[in-house]
């Protein structure tokens, strides 16, 4: 699930002209694959995506989004590399202050991650309105027509921004790490620490040992010792390296392992965790936004709401001269057949009408209409047992239909005919139409053909 799927659904729904019957038929065709509402929407998108004319709304958005992402990613990586390069610049006379680097690789990432966590936990974050406004401006750059306010959900926009910011910050941290590794590889850097704050080497050692706890068990060499901290304490007064530092100059480069691990764990690894969390939440937000699009709610209602007849159908009755009609209206029960055939109906219509008439079968097929005679004959040869035939009540019986029945009775045990009316009338036929079919079929003296009225 991604923003492209969400935009495709929005655009499809905006121009969709399918009827309730077509939507219900789609649900019936895919009821085994659609486990929930979200899955139903995804299947519906896949089935209708060909109706969108390129470039689609999603394509226009992705073109802008990908270009901005590439530019933003490059700038983040570049500025992270440059910033670390400036901090790590070594002129051979003064050591590199590790406090500067810790500010860049630990303090700034941790503070921004705390803001990110706050934005994740705070549902009504104060920047929501401004974020939505910015995204609206971005969308307007590729939207040819006025933007529907239902497209942008505040919670979805929030997770879009949080996820994008995690990726940008991650690339910045990678740039810092690359600059550190390149600097210690190409230069013999002397690290030291200096601060105006009244911090003793023992206090700093305690702080850094705490920071190094995640890797101290398997990489103890990346934990600065108290001796290293004492020997690398640098005082800027006079701008000269102390004699103690000169005597232990070979140890001053030992800081790099700690700095590399600290950057990897706190600036990169934790950011990856936040990026994964924000990506998962973005996916959930997109799913929720999909389900709450007004058009999507109507689509789901049409797909999942059965189309039922408004009055009960009478008992089936044989087409004999002594037929007695039972006019008692009862709640219709599901009727089981080996096959249900729709005469001059489409496959979608057969499924919807079968549900409306409470017809259940192992096989649903179309016959007549656009089918060739060879196709119809091949289908009839596969049939057996009890068969229901759905037909259009308003059409008069033709010789082609009688020929079809003549062939069908040779392969089946019983045939039940269901004359149906228009969809707007819930498929209820007019009495005058059904009487025409009754008289025509009765004149043929079929013994295993019934009509349901």
Are the C-beta atoms of residues 76 and 334 closer than 8 Å to each other?
Answer: no
E strands of 23-106, at which residues? Answer: 96-97
Distance, in Å, from the CA atom of 195 to the CA atom of 235, rounded to the nearest integer, reads 8
Task: Convert 401-428 into a string of H (helix), E (strand) and C (coil).
Answer: HHHHHHHHCCCCCEEEEEEECCHHHCCC
Condensed to tens digits (0 to 9), the pLDDT of residues 240-251 reads: 555 555 445 556
Contact between 387 and 415 under an 8 Å Cβ cutoff? The reply is: yes
344 near 373, Cβ under 8 Å? no
The kind and range of the H/E element at 17 are none
| pLDDT value of residue 244 | 53
CATH code assigned to 317-451: 3.40.50
Q: Domain locations in the chain?
A: 57-296, 317-451
Q: How high does pLDDT run on average in the chain? A: 82
Range name among 100-109, 219-228, 321-330 with the lowest pLDDT average: 321-330
The CA-based diameter of the chain, rounded to the nearest angstrom, is 124
Task: Write the pLDDT tens digit of every residue in 138-147.
Answer: 655 555 555 5
**pLDDT tens across 259-276, in order?**
999 999 999 999 999 999
- Pick the most confident of 54-58, 222-226, 353-357: 222-226
Q: Lowest-pLDDT range, 96-105, 331-340, 374-383?
A: 331-340
In tens, the pLDDT along 23-34 reads: 888 888 887 777
Q: Does this model's pTM top 0.75? A: no
* DSSP line for 83-140: HHHHHT---SSS-EEHHHHHIIIIIHHHHHHHHHHHHHH-TT-TTHHHHHHHHHHHHH
Q: Kindly list the distances between the CA atom of residue 83 and the CA atoms of 100, 108, 166, 183, 352, in Å, as whole numbers in the listed order.
A: 11, 12, 19, 12, 65
Q: With contact defined as beta carbons under 8 Å apart, do 72 and 168 qualify?
A: yes
Quote the pLDDT of residue 417: 92
Q: Would you say residue 61 has pLDDT above 90?
A: no
Per-residue model confidence (pLDDT) at position 140: 55
pLDDT in the model for residue 308: 63
Please determine, for residue 182, whether its predicted confidence score (pLDDT) is greater than 90. Answer: yes
């Amino acid at each position: 699930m991604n923003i492209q799927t969400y935009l495709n659904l929005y655009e499809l729904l905006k121009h969709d002209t399918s009827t309730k019957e077509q939507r219900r038929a789609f649900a019936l065709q895919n009821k085994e694959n659609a486990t929930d509402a979200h899955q139903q929407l995804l299947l519906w998108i896949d089935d209708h995506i060909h109706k969108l004319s390129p470039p689609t709304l999603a394509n226009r958005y992705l073109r802008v989004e990908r270009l901005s992402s590439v530019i933003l990613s490059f700038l983040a990586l570049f500025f992270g590399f440059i910033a670390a390069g400036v901090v790590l610049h070594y002129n051979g006379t003064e050591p590199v202050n590790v406090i500067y680097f810790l500010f860049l690789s630990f303090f700034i990432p941790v503070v921004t991650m705390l803001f990110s966590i706050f934005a994740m936990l705070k549902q009504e974050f104060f920047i929501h309105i401004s974020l939505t406004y910015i995204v609206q401006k971005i969308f307007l750059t590729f939207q040819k027509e006025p933007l529907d306010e239902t497209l942008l959900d505040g919670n979805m926009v929030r997770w879009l921004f949080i996820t994008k910011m995690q990726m940008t910050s991650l690339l910045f941290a990678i740039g810092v790490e690359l600059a550190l590794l390149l600097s210690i590889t190409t230069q013999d850097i002397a690290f030291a620490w200096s601060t105006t704050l009244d911090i003793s080497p023992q206090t700093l050692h305690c702080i850094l040992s705490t920071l190094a706890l995640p890797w101290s068990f398997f990489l103890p060499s990346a934990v600065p010792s108290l001796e290293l901290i004492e020997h690398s304490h640098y005082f800027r007064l006079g701008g000269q390296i102390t004699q103690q530092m000169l005597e232990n100059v070979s140890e001053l480069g030992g800081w790099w392992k700690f700095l590399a691990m600290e950057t990897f764990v706190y600036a990169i690894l934790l950011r990856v965790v936040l990026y994964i969390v924000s990506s998962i939440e973005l996916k959930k937000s997109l799913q929720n936004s999909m389900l709450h699009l007004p058009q999507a709610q109507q689509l789901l209602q049409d797909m999942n709401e059965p189309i039922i007849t408004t009055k009960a159908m009478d008992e089936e009755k044989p087409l004999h001269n002594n037929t007695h009609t039972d006019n008692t209206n009862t709640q219709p029960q599901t009727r089981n057949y080996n096959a249900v055939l729709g005469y001059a109906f489409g496959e979608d219509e057969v499924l919807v009408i079968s549900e409306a008439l409470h017809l259940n079968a192992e096989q649903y097929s179309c016959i007549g209409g656009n089918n060739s005679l060879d196709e119809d004959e091949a289908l009839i040869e596969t049939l057996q047992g009890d068969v229901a035939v759905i037909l259009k009540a308003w059409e008069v019986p033709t010789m082609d239909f009688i020929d079809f029945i003549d062939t069908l009775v040779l392969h089946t045990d019983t045939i039940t005919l269901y004359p149906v009316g228009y969809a707007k009338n819930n498929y209820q036929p007019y009495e005058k139409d059904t009487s025409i079919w009754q008289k025509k079929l009765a004149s043929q003296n079929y013994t295993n053909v019934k009509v349901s009225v």
